[in-house]
């Protein structure tokens, strides 16, 4: 079977690549560090340019700022952005919250938020994990207490990416503490500038401030910001995760890193000398390329299912597991080849590939954990995909 893009899809891929050629600095190697103001400005500039071209939300209906294009166009977009390690792709708003609001949001919520997401005017973050509630998300304890026209929210969220840059958060809260764990949860939208919201930075082991802990102290949230039915947030929240769990970003990052590694092996002026004639090196690189390409095709299968109106569950989990694990294997092998030069910090005189592999490996240790750990994903595959018992 041959997998090919349509002429329209191929033309879009060329246009996007050309746009990134102009938008990214000539020496750009990425990925962006959101804690740097210059990188965040680049993120905002590129997002604005993407929005002006209608590329942020292509598959959305025209009434919400999209072009009614196929989910495959979104996949091509996400893949090219990740392959180039380019900032400007608001996954929280465009990929996760937007499609969820179309299914569960009120008319007023769709009118208020979808247009601003499509125009790149608002930055969202996701409030799911808590200090004592990670993989077992149903054990979350952040409370939203009924107070007339509002909820009063108290609790903490953690590992919240971009909370320090975000305008709004979509978050899961417990609205009925006496109900069964999955039955007393609601999905709400919170203004990050509300009194009582405190964002505490978490600098990861790569030295990047991307994660945060967010504390909510008697935060007032209008009931109009409830998404879906009260105490039915688990269903809406899992829809968000199903939209999040495409592995195409990981597959594209893996391919970019693998190609960089192949170029390095072929180089004549590297500080270490992994010869291209070494059969062990050749075999390992071929194995990694096979694994990366297989994970990439699994991601395309998810897009194909979405184009048929499905919400892939086990398939999305499979693509996330396969692609995230392939990416880490590429980075690990890169560090094995680079040896002691590969673990030098960026800026060191003898750092090979400018220390990028070490930095990326440290940063993406979180890859198999984000969007639900890969162990949880394998449970989903076993139970929902294979019909096996718990």
Structure tokens at 291: 């694994």
Q: pLDDT tens for residues 39-73?
A: 999 999 999 999 999 999 988 899 998 888 888 88
Name which of 198-202, 215-219, 309-313 the model is least confident about.
309-313
- More confident of the two residues 147 and 268: 147
- 3-class DSSP state for residue 277? coil
Q: What is the pTM of this model?
A: 0.88
Q: Evaluate if residue 260 carries a pLDDT over 50.
A: yes
- Going by pLDDT thresholds of 50, 70 and 90, the confidence category of residue 276 is low
User: What separation, in Å, do the N-terminal and C-terminal C-alpha atoms of the chain show?
Assistant: 36
pLDDT of residue 312: 75
Q: What domains are defined for the chain?
A: 7-89 (1.10.540.10), 125-233 (2.40.110.10), 245-385 (1.20.140.10)
Q: How far is CA 69 from CA 23, 146, 227, 352, in A?
A: 24, 41, 26, 42
Please tell me which residue, 325 or 206, carries the higher pLDDT value.
Answer: 325
Region for residue 129 given its phi and psi (left: phi exceeds 0; alpha: psi -120 to 50; beta: otherwise): beta
Q: What is the pLDDT of residue 206?
A: 82
Predicted confidence band at 2 (pLDDT cuts at 50, 70, 90)?
low
Q: Where are the alpha helices (DSSP H) in the chain?
A: 7-23, 37-52, 71-83, 98-104, 107-109, 115-118, 233-244, 248-266, 279-307, 314-338, 356-363, 374-380
Q: What pLDDT was estimated at residue 1?
A: 47
pLDDT at position 15, please? Answer: 97
Question: What is the number of other CB atoms lying within 10 angstroms of the CB of residue 125?
Answer: 25
């Amino acid at each position: 079977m041959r997998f090919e893009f349509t002429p329209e899809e191929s033309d879009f891929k060329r246009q996007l690549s050309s746009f990134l050629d102009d938008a990214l600095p000539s020496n750009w190697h990425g990925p962006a560090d959101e804690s740097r103001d210059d990188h965040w400005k680049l993120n905002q500039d590129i997002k604005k340019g993407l929005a002006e071209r209608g590329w942020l939300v292509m598959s959305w209906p025209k009434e919400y700022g999209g072009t009614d294009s196929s989910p495959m166009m979104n996949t091509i977009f996400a893949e090219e952005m990740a392959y180039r390690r380019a900032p400007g792709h608001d996954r929280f708003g465009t990929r996760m919250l937007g499609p969820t609001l179309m299914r569960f949001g009120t008319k007023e919520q769709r009118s208020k938020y979808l247009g601003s997401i499509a125009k790149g005017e608002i930055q969202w973050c996701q409030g799911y994990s808590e200090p004592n509630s990670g993989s077992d998300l149903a054990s979350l304890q952040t409370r939203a207490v009924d107070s007339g026209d509002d909820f009063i929210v108290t609790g903490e969220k953690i590992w919240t990416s971009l909370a320090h840059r975000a305008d709004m958060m979509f978050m899961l809260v417990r609205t009925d503490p006496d109900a069964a764990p999955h039955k007393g949860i609601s999905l709400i939208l919170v203004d990050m500038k509300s009194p009582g919201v405190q964002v505490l930075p978490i600098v990861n082991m790569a030295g990047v401030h991307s994660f945060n802990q967010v504390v909510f102290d008697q935060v007032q949230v209008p009931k109009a910001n409830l998404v879906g039915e009260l105490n039915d947030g688990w269903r809406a929240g899992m829809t968000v995760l199903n939209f999040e769990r495409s592995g195409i970003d990981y597959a594209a990052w893996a391919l970019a890193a693998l190609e960089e590694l192949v170029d390095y092996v072929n180089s004549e002026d590297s500080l270490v000398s992994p010869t291209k004639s070494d059969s062990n090196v050749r075999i390992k690189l071929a194995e990694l390329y096979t694994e990366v390409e297989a994970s990439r095709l699994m991601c395309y299968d998810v897009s194909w299912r979405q184009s048929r109106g499905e919400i892939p569950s086990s398939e999305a989990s499979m693509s996330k597991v396969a692609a995230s694990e392939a990416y880490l294997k590429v980075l690990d092998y890169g560090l094995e080849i680079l040896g002691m030069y590969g673990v030098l910090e960026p800026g060191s005189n003898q750092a090979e590939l400018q220390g990028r592999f070490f930095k990326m490996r440290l940063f993406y240790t979180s890859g198999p954990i984000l969007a639900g750990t890969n162990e949880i994903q394998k449970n989903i595959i076993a139970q929902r995909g294979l019909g096996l018992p718990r």
